[in-house]
Amino acid sequence: MKKVVLITGASKGIGSAIAKRFATGEYIVVINYNKSEAPALSLSNEIIATGGTAMCCKADVSNATDVKNMISEIINKFSTVDILINNAGISYEGLLSDTSDEIWNNIIATNLTGVFNCTKAVLPYMINQKKGKIINISSIWGICGASCEVAYSASKSGVIGFSKALAKEVGPSGVNVNCIAPGIIDTDMNNNLTEQDKKDFVEELPISRIGNAKDIADTAFFLCSESADYITGQVLAVDGGYSI
Ligand code: NAP
């Protein structure tokens, strides 16, 4: 039987690459988006055209009602969610002194409360079937902390604490919870970086290149496979060695 995988923020970047990685025919790929409807639909069509099964669901992950409606839609159609990949996220660069309450709240609501909303909504189905995999996309900045990205780093550290605690709570129910902590990955999120910024960053890396979305997608796919059944509560840094 096909497994249902829900990927939040799958309209572009890392989420889109994860959706493509799961488009193998063995999975029903649910593409969540908030604003980018056209790319989400085009991705869904691409997966269907190559023989896969996909659907798009609009929901703002920071909005609990939106998330509940999205999960109801998926359950009505496919009866369960086997894999949840909490990938949706936003970033903000600026001094803490320039971080308004609104920016702070928006970062935490999307990056951390979004993980809470989606996880809480799917867990009953996973626990009921005594099987499930949850992957939360954190960041190396959630491990190391980034100057001028305090809100973002705090939200991503929160995701790590959330994942470790939940892994202990739901491991006995057959649900694995792990984190991926990407380094600098070539997506729209880093459009603000200059070529020189990227060059400087690469100089600090044992593996001398910026990461790509497929690097993260391959890791997520592995962590959701049976080969990773004995791995839970872990934070896997996929960062070219930046954090060692
Ligand atoms: P991206 O290209 O900017 O894509 C972000 C995705 O998140 C988009 O699909 C966007 O969908 C979605 N999203 C944002 N807010 C949302 C909301 N409220 N509800 C639902 N979806 C929402 O960024 P990315 O680089 O792929 O980032 C993906 C994840 O990786 C994020 O959690 C990010 O923090 C993490 N990460 C990225 C890097 C990096 O270097 N790129 C490094 C470490 C961690 P819409 O456009 O439809 O709103």
Over residues 43-63, the pLDDT tens digits come to: 999 999 999 999 999 999 999
Tokens found for residue 81: 């969610």
**Helix 114-128 to helix 64-78 angle, to the nearest 10 degrees?**
30
Active site residues: 152
Mean pLDDT in the chain?
A: 98
176 lines ligand 1 (CB under 6 A): no
Identify the pLDDT of residue 225. 98
Q: Residue 170 — very low, low, confident or very high, per pLDDT cuts 50/70/90?
A: very high
Q: Give whole-number Cα distances, 174 to 124, 162, 171, 229, in Å.
A: 12, 17, 5, 9
Identify the pLDDT of residue 238. 98
86 in Cβ contact with 115 (< 8 Å): yes
The alpha carbon of 108 and the centre of ligand 1 are apart by a number of angstroms equal to 13
Identify the pLDDT of residue 143. 98
**Helix 213-223 to helix 13-21 angle, to the nearest 10 degrees?**
50
118 in Cβ contact with 64 (< 8 Å): no
151 in Cβ contact with 111 (< 8 Å): no
Residue 39 alpha carbon, nearest atom of ligand 1: 47
Over residues 131-144, the pLDDT tens digits come to: 999 999 999 999 99
Rounded to whole angstroms, the Cα distance separating 65 from 216 reads 29
158 lines ligand 1 (CB under 6 A): no
Spatial strand order in the sheet of 3-7: 53-58, 27-33, 3-7, 83-86, 132-137, 175-182, 235-238
Identify the pLDDT of residue 214. 98
DSSP helix/strand/coil, 140: coil
Tokens found for residue 17: 């690459």
Average pLDDT over residues 11-28: 97
Domains within the chain, CATH numbers bracketed: 3-183+212-238 (3.40.50.720)
154: enclosing H helix or E strand: helix 150-170
210 lines ligand 1 (CB under 6 A): no
Residue 141 alpha carbon, nearest atom of ligand 1: 43
Residue 109 alpha carbon, nearest atom of ligand 1: 18
A 10 A CB-CB count for 154 gives 18
* Beta partners for residue 236, in sequence order: 180
Q: What is the pTM of this model?
A: 0.99
Average pLDDT over residues 88-99: 98
